[in-house]
Amino acid sequence: MSRVRDGASAGGLRCENIQVAFGGLKAVAGVSYDFKPGHLYGLIGPNGAGKTTLMNALSGHATLSGGRVFLDNRDITRLSVHARTRAGLGRSFQITKIFSGMSVLENLQLGAFAHRYRVQPFWMPASRFRDVREDAEKVLEQVGLTKLAHTSADYLSHGDQRALEVGLTLLGDPRVLLLDEPLAGVGHERLDQAIDLIRRIVAGRTVLLIEHNMDVVMQVSHEIVVMVQGQLLASGSPDEVRANPAVRAAYLGEGE
Amino acid sequence: MTTSHLGRLAMAAIIAAMILVPVIQTSEESLNLVSLILIWALFAIGFDLIFGMAGMLSFGHAALFGSGGYALTLLVTKAGVGFVPALGAAGMVGAVMAFGLSIFALRVSGLFFSLLTLALAQLVYILASTKLRSHTGGLDGIPGVPRPELFGIDFYDNRNYYYFLIVVFIVGIAVMALLRASPFGKALQAVQANDVRAAQIGYNVQRLRQCAFMISGFYAGVSGALLASLMFYISPQMLHWTTSGDVLIMTVLGGKGTLLGPILGVAVFEVLKEKLSQYTQHWYGILGLIFILCTIFLPNGIAGLFARKAAGRPGDAP
Ligand SMILES: Nc1ncnc2c1ncn2[C@@H]1O[C@H](COP(=O)(O)OP(=O)(O)OP(=O)(O)O)[C@@H](O)[C@H]1O
Ligand SMILES: [Mg+2]
């Protein structure tokens, strides 16, 4: 059984010699990789390895000190965050970034507005936009928050906030999805539900998933990419990576 | 996403009360007071579009306000433009000035944005009082700012001018209510709530901020022009940074982020100023004290007493 359902509509993401520096610290020190359409890549590595920073470089949040990023062979290195989103790149954050003070449905509707309109309509109340509401409700159902639609995002449980965080990436139906520890802080009792959600949404997309839970990441990924100290240490199938002595020494050996 | 019914009721009551003022209150002083409230309220709701909705604290609004006043004055007296087109042009000048400010100020954020807008506005103040003296009359200002000439109505009568103000005010409120409820308004709220996420879901954050700033500038320009016309006089005092401070105090006092709040804040501010200044010259200090107490005990301003939160806690009825 293949987990790739519709690779044709997924996008390819390629990076060439990506570098990001914070002062003297090279958080990402020359990473090149070709993420093939429709595959799910698990990005692992110890704390501070530069995983989030690499994702920031791909999504446009970090300033590169070198290297280039391609989406479907189009150079997007100089595109801003929102332009990359419009080009089909979705992104969730390690630290939850949802719109506080608004309900769950309102959160998702904002995402729908952002995707549907290049110039935000100012001549009609937002409540009149049926299509936007439908977009939002669809995602609401996908992430299992329908019952909490009118609850303020501030009052959600941590697990539900993580589900909303993932939901916000789904509007606009991105071809490439970057997920930064979507399971971080999700309690045991919800873990299966959360993993289920990830499995459902990754179908038909190219996905880069950062995850510390080894069981989960080895289970869902087609390919594992290991990052240590800003550089790629190894990559390959879950089995290959598990067996790789360098990986075991540098990463899996500790505490596993 | 809906304004509370209470808020709408209060809004209707305020507008009805304002229309009734000239009927009930006959003294010139009270007419002048409510005229001032209308004008400053227009300024304040424009200010709140960027402050309360988009979360940008501008200290440069005096420059937009004053430029509108000068634009109207010069266009009508020097260039012979009609009052109403000149009023529109004053709004445009406010918007263009806001665009100019935003080019520099939007490069930075938070406190630096506030400081940069303050510095640029002070530059405009200094220019108007010194370098451009031949046009602006320097510190002496320009007396004889005209009133509208329309339908043969005598707008030099304060009562008639008051009705003119009400019409502009209601149009201004209606447009602002629509802007705030529109997807554009929601996008500004998104930018304030979390700008990183707003950009990530596809909003052009800088462009939204810039648009809001220009609309805010339009409101400032129009209200500045109306104030000059009310007083028959304009001077660099309108461009002074204290004008920016006043509109901020009014907005916070009344409740930022709501349509009703800034209007209430302006009304309370102006009435207190009027009453207090009759008894003591330290009225500004007393206002400051009231302002501080309000920020401590009424964090959502006076309007916070009326409004309910739109989104509920778990278990609330939708
Ligand atoms: N904005 C920043 N300014 C300075 N240093 C930073 C910044 N962001 C990250 N770093 C540093 O860059 C390195 C890589 O951080 P990054 O967050 O990318 O690691 P990570 O692999 O995502 O770690 P974790 O598993 O803990 O999330 C760390 O040493 C971190 O301290
Ligand atoms: Mg990280």
Tell me the DSSP string of B236-261.
GGGGSHHHHHHHHHHHHHH-TTSSHH
Taken in order A98, A99, A101, A103, is the CA torsion positive or negative? negative
Within a domain: B275 = no
Taking the centre of ligand 2 as the mean of its atom positions, its distance from the CA of residue A49, in whole angstroms, is 8
pTM (predicted TM-score):
0.87
Q: Which residue among A85, A106, A151 places its CB closest to the CB of B202?
A: A85
Q: Is some CB atom of chain A closer than 8 A to the CB atom of B203? A: yes
CB contact under 8 A, B183 and A122: yes
DSSP β-bridge partners for residue A210: A43, A180
Residues within a 6 A CB radius of ligand 1: A 22, 25, 27, 45, 47-53, 94
Domain extent at residue B180: 18-241
Least confident range of A218-222, B8-12, B270-274: B8-12
Within a domain: B203 = yes
At which residue do the structure tokens 């990001």 appear?
A20
Domains and CATH numbers, chain A: 7-252 (3.40.50.300)
Within a domain: B32 = yes
Give the pLDDT band (50/70/90) at residue B113. confident
Within a domain: B143 = yes
Q: Which of A25, A59, A181, A228 to mutate to test the pocket of ligand 1 (most atoms within 8 A of CB)?
A: A25
Q: Express each pLDDT in B222-252 by its tens digit.
A: 999 999 989 888 877 888 888 888 888 888 8
Per-residue pLDDT of chain A (256 residues), as tens digits, is 333 334 446 678 999 999 999 988 999 998 999 999 989 999 998 888 999 999 999 999 999 999 999 999 889 999 999 999 999 999 999 998 999 989 999 999 999 999 999 888 998 888 889 999 999 999 999 888 999 989 999 999 888 999 999 999 999 889 999 999 998 888 888 888 888 888 888 888 999 999 988 888 888 899 999 998 898 988 888 888 888 888 888 765 554 4
Which pLDDT score, from 0 to 100, does residue B82 have?
A: 87
How many folded domains does chain B comprise?
A: 1
* Cβ atoms of A196 and A182 closer than 8 Å: no
Q: Is some CB atom of chain A closer than 8 A to the CB atom of B139? A: no
Least confident range of A23-32, A34-43, B31-40, B304-313: B304-313
Within a domain: B215 = yes
Least confident range of A115-124, B16-25, B29-38, B164-173: B16-25
Which pLDDT score, from 0 to 100, does residue B139 have?
A: 66
Distance CA A193, CA A177 (A): 19
Closest CA to B98 of B64, B135, B48: B64
Distance CA B191, CA B201 (A): 11
State how beta strands A206-210 and A40-44 pair.
parallel
Residue nearest (by alpha carbon) to ligand 1 atom 28: A48
Q: Which of A31, A51, A54 to mutate to test the pocket of ligand 1 (most atoms within 8 A of CB)?
A: A51
Within a domain: B288 = no
Within a domain: B268 = no
